Amino acid sequence: MVARQSGVLPLTLGLILITSGLFFIFDCPFLVKHLTSCIPVIGGFLFVFVVITLLQTSFTDPGILPRATPDEAEDIEKQIDNTGNTSYRPPPRTKEVVINQQVVKLKYCFTCKMFRPPRTSHCSLCDNCVERFDHHCPWVGNCVGKRNYRFFYTFIVSLSFHTAFIFGCVTTHLSLRAQGGKGLVFALQESPGSAVELVICFFSVWSILGLSGFHTYLVASNLTTNEDIKGSWSGKSGEDVTNPYSQRNIFVNCCSVLCGPMPPSLIDRRGFLPADESVQTAGADIELPDLANKSEINVCTQGTKGLLESATLPPLLSTSCPQGKPLTDPTVNFDPSPEISTSCSGARHVHHSRGRASTPRHTKTRSKKNKRAALQMANPSFDVPVSPSSPDAGPSSKARGHKGDSFSHLQ
């Protein structure tokens, strides 16, 4: 399903549906009569394509990495040298790896309890590590990462075409109507829907075209928005750094990003499972209760509620349960009930009852969201606040301010 915060996905869908609807109702009949009947066909095809790719972007798992199992976390902790730091949070742990003669630092994720693979970033809105993290897009209500980047790119490109097509058709329609000295006002009065379309399309076509252009550049150089903004491979620090993931050929880069093999969802390995089954090899995130340890399960239910917003759950009770009771049996994991995989994943087989996204941490997340608004930006070319789900105006201006700081180099 979509991320924990679905952002403005309903708004995006609404805008597309309304604009296209108005186009088919007001402009198509006139244009079919005066021009060609291909117009609604092309419009219809583009509309369907846009909606499908939007829904795919929103509902596909972006490449969420499930949290490490308790044993793994323990194993990694053992490997890391503990300097006996008494501060609340240990110093950031990094591991260096050489990829294509470039030194890449792998950071340890305290939430997911693992060293993040290269190009992976932790999205605070979704509260998950996402592979090849591009950005969190409120417009589609999901992170854009390895698995859904191609859908996202197809969506924005097809949306550019669709918006430009509608804009062109509406302009043609209005100019045809205004012919013979009748004037634009008359034309607008005859076809009021076209006025709405004109406004919407005029303001969106530039931003969407700009965004498509930006992402085309990213695809051609095999970069992510995250890397581009941070300037990871642009050599800003004066060192001779190049993108180690680029294949140095625009065509090959495009193919590998957009047409490469589709990796499977790592959080969806087992689909639906009956709640009373206890399996040895636990799935990445859906873990089941061990009936022999009912007491631990009861202890866990409080912690379970607190975890409802995470798409992938740490099986370790001690991280989630208020009682902080550590599990002795590594294979005992609670089944938080089917609602768990609500947020943040596009896992297809994921379970019903989604509405639990508004969980206790929502309020905490809001302030975190405002702070992180700049980091989890939607689209740099959009001049809208990045955390639109905040109702008050305060965060939006704050977000803009933050945006200005972070994106100054884009201007």
Q: How far is the CB of 330 from another protein (least distance, A)?
A: 6
With contacts defined by CB under 8 A, name the span among 327-335, 367-375, 381-389, 391-399 that binds another protein. 327-335
Q: Does 296 bind another protein (CB under 8 A)?
A: no
Distance CA 143, CA 10 (A): 16
Of residues 200-259, which lie at the interface with another protein (CB under 8 A)?
244-245, 252, 255-256, 258-259
Q: Which of 29, 34, 35, 71 binds another protein (CB under 8 A)?
A: 71
Q: Which of 72, 77, 277, 383 binds another protein (CB under 8 A)?
A: 72
Give the DSSP H/E element, type plus range, for residue 19. helix 9-22
Of residues 109, 137, 143, 169, which has the active-site annotation? 137
Distance CA 235, CA 92 (A): 24
Structure tokens at 120: 């992976």
Q: How far is the CB of 215 from another protein (least distance, A)?
A: 15
| Spatial CB neighbours of 156, under 8 Å, sequence gap ≥ 6 | 208, 211, 212, 215
Q: How many residues in the shown chain lie near another protein by CB under 8 A?
A: 54
Q: Which of 86, 328, 353, 408 binds another protein (CB under 8 A)?
A: 328
Q: How far is the CB of 66 from another protein (least distance, A)?
A: 4
| Spatial CB neighbours of 145, under 8 Å, sequence gap ≥ 6 | 62, 63, 64, 130, 131, 132, 133, 134
Q: How far is the CB of 110 from another protein (least distance, A)?
A: 16
Site string for another protein, 140-179 (x = CB under 8 A): ----------xx--x-------------------------
Are 190 and 178 a contacting pair, CB within 8 Å? Answer: no
Are 162 and 30 a contacting pair, CB within 8 Å? Answer: no
Look up 137 and say whether it is catalytic: yes
Q: What single DSSP character describes residue 293?
A: G
Beta bridge partners of 96: 105
Give 226-238 as a DSSP string.
HHHHHTTTTTTTS
Distance CA 155, CA 164 (A): 14
Q: Does 360 bind another protein (CB under 8 A)?
A: no
Active site residues: 137
Instruction: Note the residues at the interface with another protein (CB under 8 A).
Output: 48-49, 52-53, 56, 65-66, 68-69, 71-72, 75, 97-100, 104, 106, 114, 117-119, 131-132, 150-151, 154, 244-245, 252, 255-256, 258-264, 266-267, 269, 278, 280-284, 290, 292, 328-331
